[in-house]
Structure 1
Amino acid sequence: MVSDPTNDKNIWLSASEGDMERVAYLVEKCGLDVNTLDENSYSTLHAATSYSHSHLLRYLIEKGGNVNIVDDDHETPLFVAEDEDVARLLVEHGADASHRNAEGLTPLEKLIQDDEHEEVQEYLKSVGPAPVSMPNTNDNTALEDTETGREIAEIMEQAQRDGTDPDERLRELVTRNLMGQQQ
């Protein structure tokens, strides 16, 4: 059965509903790119992943879907996986479990922070880097016992005062310390 060409469901809604027939029609007959983002920067892969439509996700990947496509929050489809099998499918097709979103979190760290989808968390623990826990920046006394700790505390306090993101300065500090250890 061929999808009704008068149907006005867009590709993203069709993907979120698991409407394989409509998505295939839009891709194969209308030439839509499976990697096109909607006005909210959501891709068909994000939609299929979010609603655990693994059959549709496989199709989108076969049609050139980028498993590491990012939205405006710099999140890949793996960030919205609510099902272990879907997360596994993405990783098996090259999804980067160590990718960091705009907040600096990996998919695993975001799931832990949001206290969601324990089975996906367990799977991601087996394939990705261990979550990074930042020290409590409200109590810097233990941090300030070392030079690096004092620098971290200073960066965090400065960022808090300025209302800026400390990530870049923290990355520079870590890189500088790692490079110094390798010499």
Structure 2
Amino acid sequence: MVQPASANKNIWVAASDGDITRVKHLIEVEGLSPNIKDSNSYTPMHAAASYHHFELLEYLLSVGGDINIPDAEGETPLFTVEGVEAARWLVDHGADVAAENDDGQTAADYLEDDHPEIAAYLRSMPSGGVPPAADGAAAVDARAERIADMEADELMLEAQAIMEEAQRTGEDPEGRLRGIVEQAVNRGIAAAGGAEGGAEAEEARKRTRMDGMDD
């Protein structure tokens, strides 16, 4: 009897192909881990993310797959994506945009040259490359995060428009993509500064009230 072609696939090939039936068999019947690594430390999570197999990724997560599992070079599945949609899916499901590989690169750094639109999107996320606020500035952090969330969709759409125009005109989009990221960062810093100034003013008002009570 001739065996189906999928019956000979290992879990990494099946994950790359989006063959969820074969992956389920290997995990549920043969007992393989969704985080098993091959000789190159590649996991089914990396393979599914690389080829944007969202249904398979959902399944792997449901059976214990680690969305932030690193390979031998410290690179998580987020480092393998080739489209903004895939990056967004991973981030929405818990991918750490601040995770660094062994060279000290985040996924945004790693993808900058080949996929600047993905890098721009990742840097628009909280902790995606914007310098952190000073310790104790919880209110500033909260406001900056809210602003980043509100602007993420707008930034992604703008980046996609730039990429589409570049494909039509043959223009190098890198400069314009960097520009919109810098604008987003500057807006976030300005907003954070406003929040910090407001917090300082409130503290001054509190001290004034306390002084009045002491008198």
Shared fold (TM-score greater than 0.5)?
A: yes
Measure the CA separation in 2 of the matches of 1:10 and 1:91.
27
Match of 1:130 in 2: 129
Based on CA coordinates, which of the two structures has the bigger radius of gyration?
A: 2
Match of 2:72 in 1: 72
Measure the CA separation in 2 of the matches of 1:6 and 1:85.
28
Measure the CA separation in 1 of the matches of 2:124 and 2:35.
28
TM-score w.r.t. the length of structure 1 is: 0.64
> Against the structure 1 CA distance between its residues 131 and 106, is the aligned structure 2 distance closer, same or farther, given a 3 Å change threshold?
farther
Moved more, 88-97 or 10-19: 88-97
Match of 1:57 in 2: 57
Measure the CA separation in 2 of the matches of 1:68 and 1:36.
13
Match of 2:106 in 1: 106
Moved over 2 A (4+): 3-6, 128-132
Letter in 2 for 1:23: V
Does structure 1 residue 116 correspond to structure 2 residue 117? no
Letter in 2 for 1:123: Y
**SS of residue in 2 equivalent to 1:101:** coil
Asked whether the equivalents of residues 16 and 48 of structure 1 are also in contact (C-alpha less than 8 Å), the reply is: yes
Letter in 1 for 2:91: V
**Runs of 5+ consecutive residues of structure 2 not aligned to the other structure:** 132-215
Letter in 1 for 2:31: G
CA drift of 1:54 comes to 1.3
**SS of residue in 2 equivalent to 1:23:** helix
Identity %: 45
TM-score w.r.t. the length of structure 2 is: 0.55
Measure the CA separation in 2 of the matches of 1:5 and 1:110.
35
Measure the CA separation in 2 of the matches of 1:10 and 1:52.
19
CA drift of 1:117 comes to 2.1
**SS of residue in 2 equivalent to 1:105:** coil
Measure the CA separation in 2 of the matches of 1:119 and 1:23.
31
Superposed CA RMSD in Å reads 2.1
Letter in 2 for 1:126: S
Letter in 2 for 1:89: W
Measure the CA separation in 2 of the matches of 1:111 and 1:98.
13
Deviations 1:133-172 (A, max 9, x none): xxxxxxxxxxxxxxxxxxxxxxxxxxxxxxxxxxxxxxxx
